Amino acid sequence: MEFTLDAYNSLIEDIFRRFPSVQKDGFTAGAYKPGLERMEAFDRYLGYPSRQFKSIHIAGTNGKGSVANLVASALQSCGLRTGLFTSPHILDFRERIRVNGIIPMEYVFKQLTSWMPWIEENNLSFFEITTGLAFKYFADSGVDYAVIETGLGGRLDSTNILEKPELTIVTTIGFDHMALLGDTLEKIAAEKAGIFKEGVPALIGDALPETRPVFQDKANGFCPLFFAQEMNPTFWGRNEEILSQMDLGAEVQCQNLRTVLSALDILGIQDERALDGIIHTAHNMEFHGRWERLQNEPLIIADIGHNAHALRHNFAQLEAMNRPLIVVYGVMADKDLDAIIPLMSRKATYIFTSPATPRALPARDIADRFGGSSIVIDNVQDAVKKALEIADRDTIIYIGGSTFVVSEALPLFK
């Protein structure tokens, strides 16, 4: 089949329709397929691309996307050819797979059309397809490093076919996807620690009293273990200077910065050019939806933080800014809204909305459970327009609660 833009768009739409994705369909049996057997078979079919590049493997409840992008931008700025595999995407499917820029449409089209009979026969999930595509592209591109973010958990995640990464990182542990990963922090940590590999350094970005023993038990006699909180990495003495310049502006980036600088030290990369990459991560990686400033007057911030662990930081940072606040908020039906609502400032004006996905909790349901005064507008872009209509120049408009809310809002500003 010959490549055309229409043929490419049709192929991507067909894959989204025929192969359930967590982003579109949630953690249904078809979208989430734990276990490595299908992925190992796919890797074998592709000629074992997972074994053909150096990798950094990252898991965690929150922060893993930011840390992955920060590390990749730092390596890229040091002149290293760097691959990056993350999920979900915000605007374009190809955001998930990068080598100094997003994967070309022509490459995606050529590979997926040639693999489709095998993919259909073996009933792969959407995430398995994209993982295989990423690994093959990194191998074909001859990357110096590939930074790989897990999709869910770690032990049974498709990316965990990586046999010998250079480094594994676990960012944070919090309560999310408990039906799949466990109902305690200890159980969730054990799933994330499943990416540890024998003899490969493991770095923990944020160890809690409940999770530290889990990581220590897993690493004991198996792999070197480092805790970022206890490290004093090269350039950490300049952390305030770096943070003040970073285009990823959330306060939680302080913790992520220490993790990233620790990771670079473990890798033996102490090149000052890495700092420029860290400072300009959002720009270099076209990284959307992480405390992203979309406009200055009024100040509009978009963030995909979607669970209580992430939103606790976001709502606290918004309240500390001590300015009039409008929150455009939507959430998926599987999130723990009961844990999120107590974190939401009652001083803000809320516009509850519902992105166009069957996974979304109806805006009216959010408003009813919130219990206070609010505005309900089902369409995300209409909700944002309403926020702009009622805001003044000193107002902060925060758009968030879900990747879907942010992705539907962004085209108004990009």
Tell whether the model's pLDDT for residue 23 goes beyond 70: no
User: What is the C-alpha to C-alpha distance for residues 78 and 235, in angstroms, rounded to an integer?
Assistant: 15
139-157 pLDDT per residue, tens: 999 999 999 999 887 888 9
Tokens for 60, please give them: 């965690």
Nearest Cα residue to 263 out of 284, 236, 288, 238 = 236
Residues 178-204 have a mean pLDDT of 85
pLDDT band at 17 (very low <50, low <70, confident <90, very high): confident
46-61 pLDDT per residue, tens: 999 999 999 999 999 8
In 10 A of CB 90, how many CB atoms?
A: 19
238-290 pLDDT per residue, tens: 999 999 999 887 777 889 999 999 999 999 999 999 999 999 999 999 888 88
Nearest Cα residue to 204 out of 56, 312, 60 = 60
Tokens for 14, please give them: 């067909």
SS3 70: helix
Cα 124 versus chain centre, distance: 22
Min mean pLDDT across 22-36, 211-225, 393-407 is at 22-36
Model confidence, pTM = 0.87
What pLDDT does residue 21 have?
59
348-383 pLDDT per residue, tens: 999 999 999 888 999 999 999 998 889 999 999 999
Residues 77-84 have a mean pLDDT of 97
What pLDDT does residue 33 have?
59
User: What is the C-alpha to C-alpha distance for residues 293 and 167, in angstroms, rounded to an integer?
Assistant: 32
**Of 392 and 307, the one with more pLDDT:** 392
Using DSSP bridges, classify how beta strands 145-149 and 55-59 pair: parallel, antiparallel or unpaired: parallel
**Ordered domains of the chain (ranges, CATH):** 5-285 (3.40.1190.10), 292-412 (3.90.190.20)
